[in-house]
Amino acid sequence: LGIELPDVSACLFLLGDVDGLMDRPPEQSGTKLIEQWIPSDGLRGTHASDIDVTGGILLKAQCASMIANSVDHVWLLNGREPNRMLDAVVRGVAVGTKVLSERPS
């Protein structure tokens, strides 16, 4: 919908157990949040299709990167932290991962 509806200025992907894209699997020690991500930076991850029917983080990141080419503010956020959603939409700054466009500025 983010790329099919006119005048969409923000798109949020709400995650269940993490704050956004992480630099390694979240269960590993020393995991850090990737605050800004551009698809050309790449992303490593796995998909456990036997337990995850939503496509996992890789599918979410892929969809977010496509939307970021049309929508200015695309975020992957912890959906269990409602204030972060408001921060992203109202202030343009939030704890999470902002997905940047590959398009030239």
Residues spanned by the domain of 61: 10-99
In the prediction, which pLDDT does 52 show? 57
Q: What is the mean pLDDT of residues 56-63?
A: 88
pLDDT at position 74 over 90: yes
In the prediction, which pLDDT does 1 show? 58
Residues 78 and 1: their CA atoms lie apart, in Å, by 20
Residues 35 and 5: their CA atoms lie apart, in Å, by 27
Number of domains in the chain: 1
Residue 59 belongs to a domain: yes
Q: What is the mean pLDDT of residues 54-63?
A: 83
Q: What is the CATH number of the domain that holds 43?
A: 3.40.1160.10
Residue 104 belongs to a domain: no
Residue 5 belongs to a domain: no
Q: What is the mean pLDDT of residues 26-37?
A: 93
Token representation of residue 60: 């979410």
Residues 17 and 1: their CA atoms lie apart, in Å, by 24
Residues 13 and 31: their CA atoms lie apart, in Å, by 20
In sequence order, which residues have a C-beta less than 8 Å from that of residue 46 and are 6 or more positions away? 25, 56
